[in-house]
């Protein structure tokens, strides 16, 4: 009986930290989930988020807080994933993608 109790205690001590790490990792993934997706793109567009810059392509996901710069003559269509709203942007412009709706800054 003592061996069974020790095994249960050992499993609890081993499983609890693993479960905590898994939940933390899962919450990080949810936090970084995209709010919008590029559904059409003509011309050059770059996204800046968290100190990194990348070229956008069709089907690129945009996280909340991402700043997108459209080059002169560029056209970008973005679909907000939670409500299905579609937005059309023309360059040159800078757009910040927020959780509820985009904000055109220039």
In tens digits, the chain (106 residues) has pLDDT values of 666 666 666 555 665 555 454 544 444 444 557 999 999 999 999 999 989 999 999 999 999 999 999 999 999 999 999 999 999 999 999 999 999 899 999 8
**Is the pTM of the predicted complex or chain greater than 0.85?**
no
30/7 Cα distance (integer angstroms): 34
The CA-CA-CA angle for residues 98, 93, 95, to 5°, reads 5
29/39 Cα distance (integer angstroms): 22
77/89 Cα distance (integer angstroms): 6
47/101 Cα distance (integer angstroms): 16
The predicted structure's pLDDT at residue 60:
96
The predicted structure's pLDDT at residue 29:
45
Contact predicate 47/71, CB 8 Å: no
């Amino acid at each position: 009986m003592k061996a069974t109790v020790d095994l249960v205690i050992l499993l609890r001590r081993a499983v609890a930290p693993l479960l905590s790490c898994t939940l933390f990792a899962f919450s990080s993934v949810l936090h970084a989930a995209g709010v919008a997706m590029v559904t059409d793109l003509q011309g050059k567009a770059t996204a800046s988020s968290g100190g990194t810059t990348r070229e956008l392509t069709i089907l690129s996901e945009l996280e909340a807080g991402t700043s997108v710069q459209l080059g002169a003559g560029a056209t970008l269509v973005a679909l907000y994933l939670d409500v299905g709203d579609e937005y059309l942007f023309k360059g040159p412009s800078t757009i910040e993608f927020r959780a509820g709706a985009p904000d055109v800054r220039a």
